[in-house]
Every structure is written in C-alpha cells, then in structure tokens.
C-alpha cells in the first residue's frame, strides 16, 4: 500500500497493461482497460453515476500483484463514445456490455465491485448472471426506487440547502414541483448550450453533496463539461425510467445471489444514497456483511470508506488464495 506521508489506504498507482475501445452497438463504443496481474484474481469495477466514468485512482483499490483489474466506462460515460448519449442506453444493455467484455477477455468468473449506481448495476448484473460472479463488494447502496430518486431531487435540500438552491436556480418556480421533467426538457432539448448548462447544474449539485466534509475541488471537477454531460444527462435519463427496473426488483430477486459472498460498505452520513437502502438490502440479504463507516458521507475516497474497501478486496483475495 501507499506508505507516503498522506497515509493513503490505497495501493500505489498503476498503469494499464492494455486498453482499448469495444464497439457494443452501432451507436456506442466503450473504453476499457486492464491493470495488475493478468493471471490474478479477476475483478470488474463498475463506476457510479450513471455517467460517472472511471478514474486512474479506481485501480488503486486492488492489490496489483494479485488482482486482474478490469475497468470500463459505461455507455455515454468517460472516454466511451458518444459522451452523454442516452439513446440505446438501458440497464439491460449495460449488463450485456459487461458480458461482452468478460467474454472478450476470456474470463469465466470475476469479483464484482461497484459503488453508488455501480452497486445498482452490480446487483442487477449478478442477478442476471450469478454463475459469472465470485462475489460482490458494494458501496453507497442505491436501489433505484422512486423514494431514493425523490430524495436526490428534493430531500438532500435538508442537508445541503445552498447546493439545492443552486440546483433549482435556473428552473422557474412553476416548474419546481417536478424537477425531473423540468431538467428533462433542458437536458434533452435541441439547444446544446441550454443542455450543457443544465448538465453542469445537475452534476455540480451532486458533487456538492458527496463528502462529509466539504471538498471544493470535487465540486469543480463535477463542473467540468465532460463529467457534467455524462452525469447530468445519464442520471436524469435513468431516473426518468427508474433504472429500467420493475418495482423493488433488486430486493425481490436477491435469492438469485444469496449464496454468493458480499461485503456492503456504507457511509453513516451518506446524503446522496441514504443508509436506509443499505439497511434494506442487508435485511433482505443478511448473509452479506454490512460495514458502517461512522465518519463518512457518500464518496468512495473518504478515508474510512477507502480503508474499508481496500480491506474488503484484501479479504476476498486472501480467502480465494486458500480455497
């Protein structure tokens, strides 16, 4: 691990062994990368958002000498093209993409690691293809229910009123009773500048609410056009369709993965994905280990959360080495 003065819980930075672009439809091409040990324990990293994309720091949750680390940008996110594209973009198609990538890389089974929307997609993928999963590490649980979507749009104002005021500032008062459709009209309209401004406002709102302690540099990062277009458009798109799930689907179908090991890491003061969702998941799946992080909000890189995620990847690695 990194023994520098910052005492980071993460492993040292690593460079990809290889990377590429994988065409998955006439419209979408995915950016992917492979890091670590090509003969190691396979793990797939599912980023948040939707639309958040991967970052080099995401490689550092895994011991590079022992893991074969697979990361990719989901449709419309990061370096995948086209950026922010919501057409031909559903949860079922994302699951197909994961399988296409797994098959291309010749991997039979892998550990599935996902946070926030990545936890949603991890559960959906696992329930669709349990035979391909070795287990799960899940962080900041989001079950994509209407209650959670409404919390994001309205409830976070109780904790971040100034961020919420900025979020609704460009929306006329008469439209604020239905913020999701107000943003839909702006994000997916014909005026590119209006769409970009709406995406910036949406993304900046989320970036303002991620951490227990303020991190202004993260708010600036979420304001970047490339980040904002992915997050603003795709989060709204998936919210409008409730993640393309049936009512409470991820809880209802938990029996499909109940037999697989899982660790859930949840910030006690997560304002973006409130802890009630993690608790609901644990109640439905008591075999999964739930670890509360007492001094954390939503972000994966808060010290307590990052430490717990690294400990979880180490636990899976060590267990597999003795199987």
Task: Tell me how many domains the chain contains.
Answer: 2
214: confidence class by pLDDT, cuts 50, 70, 90? confident
> Is 311 a domain residue?
yes
Low-confidence winner among 31-40, 245-254, 312-321 (lowest mean pLDDT): 312-321
| Structure token digits, residue 258 | 């109940």
35 and 141: one domain? yes
What pLDDT shows up at residue 310?
Answer: 98
Tell me what the mean pLDDT of segment 87-100 comes to.
Answer: 98
Q: Pick the catalytic residue from 116, 203, 208, 307.
A: 116
31: confidence class by pLDDT, cuts 50, 70, 90? very high
Indicate whether 125 pLDDT > 60. yes
For the chain, percent of residues with pLDDT exceeding 90:
92
> Is 272 a domain residue?
yes
Indicate whether 147 pLDDT > 80. yes
**C-alpha dihedral sign at 289, 292, 297, 302:** negative
The C-alpha atoms of residue 272 and residue 249 are separated, in whole angstroms, by 21
The C-alpha atoms of residue 133 and residue 179 are separated, in whole angstroms, by 37
Q: Which of 243, 277, 307 is the last residue of a domain?
A: 243
Residue 32 β-bridge partners: 20, 72
> Is 295 a domain residue?
yes
117 and 202: one domain? no
The helix, strand and coil proportions of the chain, stated in percent and rounded to the nearest 5, come to 45, 15, 35
Instruction: Tell me, yes or no, if 253 is annotated catalytic.
Output: no
Range of the domain at 204: 147-243
132 and 259: one domain? yes
Q: Cis peptide leading into 50, omega within 30 of 0?
A: yes
Tell me what the mean pLDDT of segment 160-189 comes to.
Answer: 97
**Residue-wise DSSP of 166-222:** HHHTTS-GGGGGGHHHHHHHHHTSS-HHHHHHHHHHHHHHHHHTS-SS--HHHHHHH
64 and 140: one domain? yes
Question: Which has the closest alpha carbon to 125: 148, 157, 91?
Answer: 91
Q: How many Cα atoms are found within 13 Å in the side-chain-facing hemisphere of 11? A: 21
> Is 11 a domain residue?
no
What pLDDT shows up at residue 114?
Answer: 98
116 and 253: one domain? yes
Q: Which of 224, 243, 262 is the last residue of a domain?
A: 243
Question: Which has the closest alpha carbon to 226: 110, 4, 73?
Answer: 73
Mean pLDDT, the chain, integer: 95
Indicate whether 131 pLDDT > 50. yes
305 and 174: one domain? no
What pLDDT shows up at residue 222?
Answer: 87
> Is 22 a domain residue?
yes
Higher pLDDT, 75 or 3: 75
What pLDDT shows up at residue 217?
Answer: 85
The C-alpha atoms of residue 142 and residue 221 are separated, in whole angstroms, by 22
> Is 205 a domain residue?
yes
Question: Which has the closest alpha carbon to 271: 188, 229, 213, 211?
Answer: 211
What pLDDT shows up at residue 215?
Answer: 85
Indicate whether 92 pLDDT > 70. yes
254 and 304: one domain? yes
Indicate whether 51 pLDDT > 50. yes
Q: Pick the catalytic residue from 119, 203, 298, 307.
A: 298
Instruction: Tell me, yes or no, if 116 is annotated catalytic.
Output: yes
Higher pLDDT, 216 or 66: 66
85 and 97: one domain? yes
**Whole-structure pTM value:** 0.96
Grouping H, G, I as helix, E, B as strand and the rest as coil, residue 17 is coil
99 and 157: one domain? no
Q: Which of 208, 243, 278 is the last residue of a domain?
A: 243
b/e map of 268-301 (b: 16 or more CB within 10 Å)? ebbbbbbbebbebbbebbeebebbebeebbbbbb
Tell me what the mean pLDDT of segment 141-167 comes to.
Answer: 98
Number of DSSP helices (H) and strands (E) in the chain, helices first: 11, 8
How large is the greatest C-alpha to C-alpha distance in the chain, in angstroms?
A: 62
255 and 273: one domain? yes
Q: What is the CATH number of the domain that holds 249?
A: 3.40.50.1820
Q: Pick the catalytic residue from 47, 80, 270, 307.
A: 270
β-strands 41-46, 110-115 pairing: parallel
> Is 53 a domain residue?
yes
Low-confidence winner among 5-9, 75-79, 189-193 (lowest mean pLDDT): 5-9
Instruction: Tell me, yes or no, if 220 is annotated catalytic.
Output: no
Tell me what the mean pLDDT of segment 248-267 comes to.
Answer: 98
164 and 236: one domain? yes
> Is 279 a domain residue?
yes
Indicate whether 2 pLDDT > 80. no
What pLDDT shows up at residue 323?
Answer: 53
200 and 269: one domain? no
């Amino acid at each position: 691990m990194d023994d520098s003065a910052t005492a980071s819980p993460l492993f040292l930075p690593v460079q990809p062994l290889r990377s590429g672009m994988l065409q998955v439809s006439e419209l979408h091409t995915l950016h992917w990368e492979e890091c670590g040990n090509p003969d190691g324990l396979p793990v797939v990293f599912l980023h948040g958002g939707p639309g958040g994309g991967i970052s080099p720091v995401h490689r550092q949750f895994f011991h590079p000498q022992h893991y074969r680390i697979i990361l990719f940008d989901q449709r419309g996110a990061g370096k995948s093209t086209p950026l922010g594209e919501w057409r031909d973009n559903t949860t079922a198609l994302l699951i197909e993409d994961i399988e296409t990538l797994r098959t291309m890389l010749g991997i039979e089974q892998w550990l599935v690691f996902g946070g926030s929307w990545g936890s949603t997609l991890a559960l959906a993928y696992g329930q669709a293809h349990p035979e391909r999963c070795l287990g799960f590490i899940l962080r900041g649980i989001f079950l994509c229910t209407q209650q959670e979507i409404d919390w994001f749009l309205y409830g976070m104002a109780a904790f971040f009123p100034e961020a919420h005021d900025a979020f609704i500032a460009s929306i006329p008062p008469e439209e604020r009773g239905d913020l999701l459709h107000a943003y839909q009209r702006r994000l997916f309209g014909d005026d590119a500048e209006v769409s970009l401004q709406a995406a910036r406002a949406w993304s900046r709102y989320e970036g303002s609410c991620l951490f227990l302690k303020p991190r202004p540099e993260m708010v600036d990062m979420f304001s970047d056009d490339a980040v904002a277009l992915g997050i603003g458009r795709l989060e709204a798109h998936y919210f409008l369709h409730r993640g393309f799930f049936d009512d409470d689907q991820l809880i209802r179908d938990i029996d499909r993965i109940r037999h697989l090991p899982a660790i859930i890491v949840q910030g006690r003061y997560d304002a973006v994905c409130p802890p009630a969702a993690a608790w609901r998941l644990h109640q439905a799946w008591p075999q999964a280990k739930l670890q509360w992080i007492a001094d954390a909000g939503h972000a994966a890189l808060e010290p307590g959360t990052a430490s717990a995620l690294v400990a979880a990847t180490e636990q899976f690695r060590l267990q597999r080495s003795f199987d």
